Amino acid sequence: MAEEHILAVARVERECFASPWTADGLRAELVSDTAVFLVALLNGILIGYGGMHFVCGEGYFDNIAVLPEFRRQGIGRAIVQALLDFARQHGGAFVSLEVRESNSGAFALYRMLGFRRVGRRRNFYTKPSEDALILTKRF
């Protein structure tokens, strides 16, 4: 992700999440030493993105988002796989994330990529209130 992607990523955030990151919040990730944010482009148009923070061999996913009209085409999987590859190539021990309990599509994708459920965060999400499942993939 680069400065030229910020407004498009912010649009994806607004379309995909009830509590989206702002452009300023995303911009701050550009200068974070621990941030790894990637974008998915199709013919020069940003259609998705993913980000994590990677510290001391541990990766923590922030968001994975693909515009609704481009879902179920392998884009989310490619974003997640690229982040996993980064973590593995940089000596990562594991990657962890939270996912809405009702997000069965994302849960299925993460399970297929080797993530395992390790916990729950009660009422983690708002708009609507919902538990988060904590998933981890060890390398």
pLDDT by residue for the chain (139 residues), tens only, comes to 999 999 999 999 999 999 999 999 999 999 999 999 999 999 999 999 999 999 999 999 999 999 999 999 999 999 999 999 999 999 999 999 999 999 999 999 999 999 999 999 999 999 999 999 999 999 9
Length of the chain: 139
- Is the pTM higher than 0.85? yes
What are the tens digits of pLDDT across the range 39-58? 999 999 999 999 999 999 99
Q: Check if 15 is active-site.
A: no
Print the domain residue range for 67. 3-138
Question: 101, 110, 125, 130: which one is catalytic?
Answer: 110
Please report which helix (H) or strand (E) contains residue 138, including its range: strand 130-138
Distance CA 1, CA 11 (A): 14
Among candidate residues 13, 49, 98, 125, the one labeled active-site is: 98
Which pLDDT score is estimated for 68? 96
What secondary structure letter does DSSP report for 67?
-
Question: How many folded domains does the chain comprise?
Answer: 1
Q: What percent of the chain has pLDDT over 70?
A: 100
Buried-exposed string 48-76: b where 16+ CB fall within 10 A, e elsewhere: bbbbbbbeeebbbbbbbbbbeeeeeeebb
- Which residue type sits at 51? G
Q: How deeply is 85 buried, as exposed, middle or buried, from its count of CB atoms within 10 A (0-12, 13-18, 19+)?
A: exposed
Active site residue 98: yes
Give the CATH number for residue 83: 3.40.630.30
